[in-house]
Amino acid sequence: MEMIERGLSEEQRMMRESCRAFVDDVVTPFIRGNWQREWLMDPGARLPREILERADRIGIRTLGVPEAFGGVQLDAAAEVRTFAVIAEEIARGDSGLADKLVQNWKVAVLLRNFAPRHLQEKWLTKLVSEPGFLLAHCLTEPRGASDRWLPYNVPEAAMQTRATESRDFWIINGRKQFISNGYDAGLFVVYANTDPKVGMLQGTSSFLVPRDTPGLTIARCNETIGCRFMNNGELVFEDMRVPKDHLLARGDALGKAGIYFRPGKIIQAAKNLGVGMAAYERTAEYVQHYVQGGRILIKHQAVALRVADMATRLTAVRSLVREAALAVDANAPDADALCNMAKVFASEEVLKVAQHAMELHGGNGAMLDFGVEKLFRDASIFLHMDATADISRLKIVKAMFPRTAGAYAGPEN
């Protein structure tokens, strides 16, 4: 059964078809035929360059980059919905590949809104012209991640990474962890505390940091449980000198990051849906052919019920992702709550779908060369990306009740 994506424009439908063909003809055969490749301990060797080049040829590597810089201009009124549709399709083939590509889209949106024109031109043109070029967005650090999205707008919860202003440069010291594309990106957006006396909503600034900036060290590539074709990295900054014009937002960078996070949450949920769809499609095929007890699996009612449960959960996720994407595109007042709902709901529902897939594949579900366990591993990562499940729920209630749930539970003023 194909799940119908309702209300797509002609352009969205065509992009989806060409992306689906790329996934079916290139990505899925590569993943199925090279299941050992994600375990190579040389991160740079895992994903063949050709895959990014093929993605580039169909125009899905540089969504979000303005046409003026050679990118693929999407209809602004439906941009986030288009991101969602394409992210789902890529993740249906491989979630790590999708992670790699969507960081480019999300950071490109940030750059086109906040970077000075000459730096947009420099970096977005480079992104378009080099198929292997990647972008990264660096917020998380060892002593702060989830909490910064809570109502704790107090100095003690601020970022430990510090930026101080000198005559010609900003000087940044600190470290970032768990960063998507952190190991191999050519350009990073880095958040740092520029005013330790105030809360983080007023004291956090963001900077553009090219990979060859003196004082920047890529400390390691994390070996993750899933999405392994995206190289997640750790960065250290030691007296890192960033030119003055590389400042993107001064003081209010966390608020401005909404321009990255709202589409970002939709894209996360959509990638997650893609993983769920892959689990569902593999399982739907398997239960129609694999015979146990003299009958194909789907003839056993317990199996059929699980397939129904998978389809129901995926349809619910799809509906919520569509609703939330429409809200973000329309800049609706409930967009914040909806995109957090879509992200957290997708992460828990799709994990359950992937569990059904593993169980319905029996022993085969546990074998690396069969490839179904990979979907379970990939699904598990979404619980932690772009905020944990609990923090996402706190953000939802905070958006709904800003004056009570959204206020710090410290001493009353």
Which residues contribute to the site for ligand FAD (CB under 6 A)? Answer: 137-140, 145-147, 150, 178-180, 224, 227, 232, 381, 384-388, 390-391
List strand residue ranges (DSSP E) for 102-229, in order. Answer: 135-138, 162-165, 169-179, 187-193, 204-210, 216-221
Least distance in Å: CB of 187 to ligand FAD? 13
**Residue closer to ligand FAD, measured from CB, 22 or 178:** 178
| Helix, coil or strand: residue 154 | coil
Q: Which is nearer to ligand FAD, 90 or 298 (CB)?
A: 90
220: tokens are 């390691």
Nearest to 177 by CA among 139, 227, 205: 139
Interstrand relation of 187-193 and 135-138 (parallel, antiparallel or unpaired): parallel
Nearest distance in Å: CB 307, ligand FAD: 29
- Name the residue with tokens 């689990």: 279
Least distance to ligand FAD, CB of residue 265, Å: 11
Can you spell out the DSSP letters for 366-377?
G-GGG-HHHHHH
The secondary structure of 271-338, three-state, reads HHHHHHHHHHHHHHHHHHHCEECCEEHHHCHHHHHHHHHHHHHHHHHHHHHHHHHHHHHCCCCCHHHH
Nearer Cβ to ligand FAD, position 156 or 412? 156
Q: How many whole angstroms separate alpha carbon 378 and alpha carbon 90?
A: 13
Of residues 8 and 145, the one with the C-beta less far from ligand FAD: 145
Min CB(251)–ligand FAD separation in Å: 19
Residue placing its CB nearer to ligand FAD in the complex, 231 or 283: 231
The position carrying tokens 């440069």 is 169
Helix (H), strand (E), coil (C) string for 75-114:
CHHHHHHHHHHHHHHHHHHCHHHHHHHHHHHHHHHHHHHH
- Token output for 106: 């999300």
Query: Minimum distance between the CB of residue 214 and ligand FAD, rounded to whole angstroms?
Result: 23
- Residue 147 or 309: the one with the smaller Cβ distance to ligand FAD is 147
CA dihedral 338, 344, 345, 346 (to 10 degrees): 110
Closer to ligand FAD by CB, 127 or 326: give it: 127
Nearer to ligand FAD, 222 or 364 (CB): 222
Transcribe 7-40 into DSSP letters.
T--HHHHHHHHHHHHHIIIIIHHHHHHTTTGGG-
Nearer to ligand FAD, 56 or 378 (CB): 378
* Closer CB to ligand FAD, 88 or 329, in the complex: 88
- Quote the least distance from Cβ 179 to ligand FAD, whole Å: 5
Q: How near is the Cβ of 369 to ligand FAD at its closest, in Å?
A: 24
Between CA 250 and CA 266 the distance in angstroms is 26
Q: 193: helix, coil or strand?
A: strand
CB of 99 to ligand FAD, least distance (A): 7
Which amino acid appears at position 169 of this protein? F
Q: Which residue is nearest to ligand FAD (CB)?
A: 145
Residue type, 353: V
Burial of 255-266, coded b for 16+ CB within 10 Å and e otherwise, reads ebbebbbbbbbb
Least separation, in Å, of the C-beta of 390 and ligand FAD? Answer: 4
Compute the least distance from the CB of residue 236 to ligand FAD, in Å: 15
SS3 content of the chain, % helix, strand, coil (to 5): 55, 15, 30
Nearer to ligand FAD, 268 or 283 (CB): 268
Closest approach, Cβ 36 to ligand FAD, in A, equals: 21
